[in-house]
């Protein structure tokens, strides 16, 4: 689950970076570093990723005490130049970028000193959002059944994340192949035998979501979190 974001971005409209991302870097200004992306199945989610709240890409980088701020640049696949997306403060270390689905996005950062001079560009990172799963439902019984709907385009696999709400402790991170039979998918609880509990407890509040993971690296989506209690 993504942590709270410190976003003080200033949208830059259609200002085009052109070739400025590689020209006139000021010596001595540290180069920003993105946080390395975690594996899709990792318990701790970090780095560039989809977000459950909306169609947006989550970006995360390391703070640097020698930097007074950052500029974030983005290029959509098929475009030649990068555009300035946001100007951020030294306190910021993450950003939500609302973008279309099925379009790969490329990003880099430049650090700013106290005089607002820019350093050299960071490494470039990329991500492509897929359409989210929707209409998530839980059907009580033995076994407990999780179900959801998708569009006609199937991901490479699904990832069901189930947590205890109060503690945030992961209970099950289950991986499932798509069924390719209609647009409704389902799986019983602990279908892969990897859940931390043999069965869920009555009276406990749980939350779950369904991630779609594409065949290409850094391609996917995360549904909105849903909550339920068994009685």
Q: Are residues 70 and 121 in the same domain?
A: yes
- CB atoms under 10 Å from CB of 178, counted, come to 14
Of 79, 104, 129, the domain-final residue? 129
Same structural domain for residues 108 and 144? no
Share of the chain above pLDDT 70, in %: 90
Note the pLDDT of residue 181. 75
- Sorted by sequence, the CB contacts under 8 Å of residue 50 that are 6+ apart come out as 56, 57, 58, 127, 129, 130, 211, 220, 221, 222
| Cα distance from N-terminal residue to C-terminal residue, the chain | 26
Do 180 and 199 reside in the same domain of the chain? yes
Domain count, the chain: 2
For the segment 69-119, what is each residue's pLDDT rounded down to a tens digit?
999 999 999 999 999 999 999 999 999 999 999 999 999 999 999 999 999
Tens-place pLDDT, residues 55-67: 999 999 999 999 9
The arithmetic mean of pLDDT across residues 25-52, rounded, is 93
- Given 103, 129, 155, which residue is the final one in a domain? 129
Secondary structure of 103-140 in HEC code, one letter for each residue: CCEEEEEEEECCCCCEEEECCCEEEEECCCCEEEEEEC
Same domain, 202 and 94: no
Residues 156, 111 share a domain: no
Q: What is the longest distance spanned by two Cα atoms in the chain?
A: 65
pLDDT band, very low/low/confident/very high, at 23 (cuts 50, 70, 90): low
| Phi, psi dihedral angles at 188 (to 5 degrees) | -75, 155
**Residue where one domain finishes, among candidates 129, 158, 180:** 129
- CA-nearest of 144, 143, 126, 116 to 57 is 126
Assess whether 110 and 161 both reside in one domain: no
CATH number for the domain spanning 59: value is 2.60.40.10
pLDDT at 180: 74
Question: What residues does 186 pair with on adjacent strands?
Answer: 147
Does residue 32 have a pLDDT over 50? yes
Domain that holds residue 179: 134-229
Together in a domain, 147 and 110: no
156 and 45 co-located in one domain: no
Q: Are residues 176 and 114 in the same domain?
A: no
């Amino acid at each position: 689950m993504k942590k709270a974001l410190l976003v003080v971005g200033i949208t830059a409209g259609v200002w085009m970076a052109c070739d400025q991302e590689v020209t006139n870097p000021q010596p001595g200004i540290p180069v920003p570093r993105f946080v390395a992306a975690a594996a899709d199945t990792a318990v701790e989610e970090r780095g560039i990723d989809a977000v459950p709240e909306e169609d947006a890409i989550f970006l995360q980088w390391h703070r640097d005490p020698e930097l007074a701020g950052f500029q974030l640049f983005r290029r959509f696949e098929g475009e030649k130049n990068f555009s300035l997306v946001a100007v951020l403060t030294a306190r910021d270390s993450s950003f939500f970028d609302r973008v279309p689905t099925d379009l790969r996005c490329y990003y880099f950062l430049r650090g700013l000193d106290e005089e607002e001079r820019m350093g050299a560009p960071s490494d470039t990172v990329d991500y492509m959002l897929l359409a989210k799963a929707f209409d998530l439902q839980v059907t009580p019984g033995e076994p407990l059944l999780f179900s959801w709907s998708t569009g006609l385009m199937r991901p490479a696999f699904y990832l069901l994340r189930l947590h205890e709400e109060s503690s945030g402790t992961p209970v099950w991170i289950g991986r499932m192949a798509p069924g390719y039979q209609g647009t409704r998918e389902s799986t019983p609880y602990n279908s892969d035998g990897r859940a931390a509990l043999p069965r869920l407890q009555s009276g406990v509040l749980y939350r779950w979501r369904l991630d779609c993971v594409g065949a290409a690296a850094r391609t996917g989506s995360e549904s909105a979190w849903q909550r339920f209690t068994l009685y």
